[in-house]
C-alpha cells in the first residue's frame, strides 16, 4: 500500500504548477480527480507537437500534458453552471485536498472558494497557487513562470556575463512551486490528524522563486552586492565550471582544497596547486579568471573520456554534458528505472523511492472525461 492510499484530491488546476503537485500526490498513492473544461480540457492537451498517440493511432494529447498528469482521473465539469458547481461540491464533500490555480478571488463567484467549500467539508486542505499570493500589490496579476524568472532575479544570475539574461530550460519556478505545494499539503494533512481541521495553503510562484535563490540570495544579503551572471562558473567555489577538452566539454566540480590538489595532479600541474594564491578556495574564487587561464590549456591536452576516467579514479567530481537522448541511454538512469512505459505512453518516473519501491502512479495521464459516470453533472 502506498503512503497516500485513501487520500482523495480534487484538482481544479491546469498548466503546470498545480498539476505537478497533483502528480506528486498521485505517485504517492492518492486518488486525484482532475476537473477539466468540457470539450477542451487542460490547455496543455494542445501544447504540441509532439503528441502522444494511443494504440489505435488516435491523438491522446500533447507530450507536455503527459509530463504532469500521470495517474489521475478526468471529469468534465463547467464550473460556471449550477450543475457543474453542484457536481464539484459533491466531490468536495468527502475530499481531503483541493488544488486550484485561479486568479485571487476567481472561484468565489462560483461558490468554490475556500470559505464556501470549508463550510461543506471543514477537514478540507485547500491549496491556492497563484503568481504572487493572496495579498500584496501584485496579487491581482496573472502568474507566468517566464515572467517570474525575470522578476525574481533568477534570470539575472543565469547566462553568460556579457550576453542577455537567460531563463532556465524548463519552467523551473512552476515545478518548484508544485513540489513546495505538495510538501505543504502533506504538512497540512499531518496537522489535520492532530487538530481535526483543514487548512488554506497560499502558494505563490514569486515566493518560491525568491526562496530558490538560496546561496545567491544569501550572498547579496551578506555582502550588499547583487550577484552577477557567471555563465557555468560557481559564485562561491572554484574551479567549479565547464572546461573545453579536445573533443568536447566536461564539468569539473572541485569542492575543497584536497580535491583541487588531486585535480592538479591529474593534469600534471603541481605548480598550479602550489601557487600560494590558489591553495585555498577563497583565493581561487578571488582570482578565478587567472586560474581558468592557467587550467584551460592543460584541459585541452585530454579527450573527454580519458580525462573523466582519470578524474573519477582520483576522486575528483566531474562529468559530461549529455543531451537528453544520452540521459535515457545512461546506464545509471536505466538501472534506476527512470523511464516509464505506461501502456502506449512513455514517461519519466517519480524520483521518490520508499523502502526500495519507486513511488509511481499505476496508469498514464487520463483521456478527457475519463472518470466515473457519477462524477459528471
Pick from 249, 264, 260: nearest CA to 304: 249
In the block, cell 478540507 appears at: 124
Measured CA to CA, the distance from residue 18 to residue 15 in angstroms comes to 7
CB 172 within 8 A of CB 144: no
- Of the candidates 174, 270, 326, 330, the residue annotated as catalytic is 174
* Distance, CA of 242 to chain centre: 24
Asked if 353 and 62 count as a contact pair (C-beta separation under 8 A), the reply is: no
Give dist(CA 61, CA 49) in Å, integer. Answer: 9
Contact partners, residue 266, CB within 8 Å, separation at least 6: 307, 310, 311, 314, 316
Write the DSSP string, 128-168: EEESS-SSSTTTTS---HHHHHHHTSTGGGSS-TTS-----
Q: In whole angstroms, what is the distance from residue 233 CA to residue 152 CA?
A: 21
Q: Is 174 a catalytic residue?
A: yes
Angle, CA of 151, 155 and 160, to the nearest 5° = 155
Place of cell 503527459: 66
Look up residue 76 and give its three cell numbers: 468534465
Residues with catalytic roles: 174
Amino acid at each position: 500500500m502506498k503512503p497516500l492510499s485513501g487520500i482523495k484530491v480534487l484538482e481544479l488546476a491546469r498548466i503546470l504548477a498545480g498539476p505537478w503537485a497533483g502528480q506528486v500526490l498521485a505517485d504517492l498513492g492518492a486518488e486525484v480527480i482532475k476537473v477539466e473544461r468540457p470539450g477542451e480540457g487542460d490547455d496543455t492537451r494542445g501544447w504540441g507537437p509532439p503528441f502522444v498517440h494511443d494504440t489505435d493511432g488516435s491523438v491522446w494529447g500533447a507530450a507536455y500534458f503527459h509530463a504532469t498528469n500521470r495517474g489521475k482521473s478526468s471529469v468534465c465539469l463547467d464550473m460556471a453552471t449550477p450543475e457543474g458547481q453542484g457536481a464539484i461540491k459533491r466531490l468536495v464533500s468527502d475530499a481531503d485536498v483541493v488544488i486550484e490555480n485561479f486568479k485571487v478571488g476567481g472561484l468565489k463567484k462560483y461558490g468554490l472558494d475556500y470559505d464556501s467549500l470549508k463550510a461543506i467539508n471543514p477537514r478540507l486542505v485547500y491549496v491556492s497557487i497563484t503568481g504572487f499570493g493572496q495579498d500584496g500589490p501584485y496579487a491581482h496579476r496573472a502568474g507566468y513562470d517566464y515572467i517570474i524568472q525575470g522578476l525574481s532575479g533568477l534570470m539575472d544570475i543565469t547566462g553568460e556575463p556579457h550576453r542577455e539574461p537567460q531563463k532556465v530550460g524548463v519552467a523551473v519556478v512552476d515545478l518548484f512551486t508544485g513540489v513546495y505545494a505538495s510538501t505543504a499539503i502533506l504538512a497540512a494533512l499531518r496537522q489535520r490528524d492532530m487538530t481535526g481541521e483543514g487548512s488554506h495553503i497560499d502558494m505563490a510562484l514569486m515566493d518560491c522563486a525568491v526562496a530558490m535563490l538560496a546561496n545567491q540570495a544569501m550572498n547579496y544579503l551578506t555582502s550588499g552586492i547583487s550577484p552577477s551572471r557567471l555563465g557555468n562558473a560557481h559564485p562561491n567555489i572554484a574551479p567549479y565550471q565547464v572546461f573545453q577538452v579536445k573533443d568536447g566539454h566536461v564539468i569539473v566540480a572541485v569542492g575543497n582544497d584536497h580535491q583541487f590538489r588531486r585535480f592538479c595532479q591529474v593534469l600534471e600541474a603541481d605548480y598550479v596547486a602550489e601557487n600560494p594564491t590558489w591553495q585555498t578556495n577563497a583565493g581561487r574564487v578571488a582570482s578565478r579568471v587567472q586560474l581558468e587561464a592557467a587550467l584551460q590549456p592543460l584541459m585541452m591536452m585530454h579527450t573527454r573520456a580519458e580525462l573523466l576516467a582519470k578524474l573519477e579514479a582520483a576522486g575528483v567530481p566531474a562529468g559530461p554534458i549529455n543531451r537528453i537522448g544520452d540521459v535515457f541511454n545512461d546506464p545509471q538512469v536505466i538501472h534506476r528505472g527512470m523511464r516509464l512505459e505506461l501502456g502506449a505512453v512513455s514517461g519519466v518516473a517519480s524520483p521518490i523511492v520508499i523502502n526500495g519501491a519507486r513511488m509511481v502512479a499505476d496508469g498514464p495521464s487520463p483521456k478527457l472525461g475519463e472518470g466515473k459516470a457519477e462524477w459528471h453533472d
